Amino acid sequence: MSTTTNTTDLTTFRALSFDCYGTLIDWEAGLAADIAPIISALPAGHPWHANPMLALEQFDNYSYHLNRARPTLAYDANLVESARLLATGQGITLPEGVAETIATGPSRWPAFSDTLEGLWRLRRHYKLVLLSNVDDRNIARAMMGGGPLAGVEFDAVYTAEQIGSYKPDHANFNYLRAGVKREFLVERDEELLHVARSLLHDHVPAKELGIRSVWIARGGDKLEASGIGGGYEAIKGSGKLGSEWTFQTIGEFADEVDRQFAEKAKQKK
């Protein structure tokens, strides 16, 4: 069931911007598979065997700090360096083949089951824009035949590689604003809605910049939830969140959008 926090009209927006990995594509499942050889190489009693999420959290920490320290480093190179740091931090060398595998991971990691159908439905009502930290090559391959986003047409794709910085840097969101104004004549923030799961990378900077947003929680609003992108209770308590709607999936968000547009059409008759 959706957990929308607002019944405000969703039909007034003209463009939706999406985070991709974690929101549309299952970043955690894909990455977990690609770093599994690192965990397998650790001693039998290592805690990562029992709880691989600990390895994902450490990987994300390395990746985040690389993003901040080296903002022009392409994401495929960031993934390889983060994997190397993950291995050497545990006293082992990076297993053979991991670097080659993880560098291309974003082009094949699976989409969530609700993603494609939800995007097709949303496309009937809005311009669709990707705002991603992933590099150009991996994003392009993800949209090709056989890729996790094959069959979905985005009206614009803005990546960290193009922008020269990574979310949550404000430069990425200002680039988004300028892009939708230039390409789609979206002049006002009230016409742009950002859709994302990550609190730290997306919703915190969106609030700071006055960009309205939808949280695709994917279970992240539960007290027992684990995952990447910022702890809900801690960030909520800090007052840094400004998302106006919460849905568990892209599919549930599309359901509400379809409902509102259908209701509006009835009122015009």
Q: Give the residue numbers annotated as catalytic, written as ranges.
A: 19
**Strands, E, within the chain: which ranges?**
15-18, 127-132, 156-159, 192-196, 212-216, 245-247
> Interhelix angle for 75-88 vs 136-143, to 10°?
110
CA dihedral sign, ordered 263, 265, 268, 269: negative
Contacts of 181 (CB under 8 A, 6+ apart): 187
Task: Please answer whether residues 210 and 244 qualify as being in contact, where contact means their C-beta atoms are separated by less than 8 angstroms.
Answer: no
DSSP for residue 202: I
